[in-house]
Structure 1
Amino acid sequence: MANWQCVKQCGACCHLDPAERPDLKEYLSPAELEKYLSMVGEDGWCVNFDHTSRECRIYANRPRFCRVELETFQDMYGIEPEELNEFAIDCCRQQIEGVYGDRSLEILRFDKAVGL
């Protein structure tokens, strides 16, 4: 069985372009939406994403909506505990494919890491 995990130096989730996420208002509070939009740089990437190291500069203090945690996903998406693993894998695969492509090194690394 596949088990979700974050793959270091991927950063696909840091591509925040609101044009690609038209449903933000459905799962973010008004305050979170404001915070989210304030984090989007001109290129669509999070202003806290370091493109050289491909890591988050504020990882320890990142907002709730940047965290893959059961409580967050239950609140934002209505996910039940037994659905979290599969849902998180699907979310990551969609985002990685959208940002880097379905044959990218990033998707290959992710699939290997989660056991697909």
Structure 2
Amino acid sequence: MPGLDPSQGRRHRNGRVTARIDIRRNHPMAHTPHELSEEFPGEQEKIAKLSADSAHFAKLADEYHEVNRAIHRAETDVEPTDDLHMIDLRKRRMILKDEIAALLRA
């Protein structure tokens, strides 16, 4: 986050600083980034229809949400993880997103 004091967040290897959010003090938690509605704007109706009509699509979407939320919890230190696990989670999210995109284009 530009202009964020490093003491207010976590500095990553690439120099980026992510905000630290203390949920124990009832600070409002930012929305989970990378939700399917954000990744595929204007496709919400198609996503809902495919989720209802296709068990395969619904499973992919559910797994995407699960992985995405795990990444968000790790990034906000709600459930810290090591760098290798974070890389694996991000790769899995990318693979799922690609599969979902292909089904949305079909």
More helix by share: 2
> Does TM-score exceed 0.5, indicating one fold?
no
> Structure 2-normalised TM-score?
0.30
Answer 1 or 2: higher relative contact order, Cα 8 Å, separation at least 6: 1
> Structure 1-normalised TM-score?
0.28
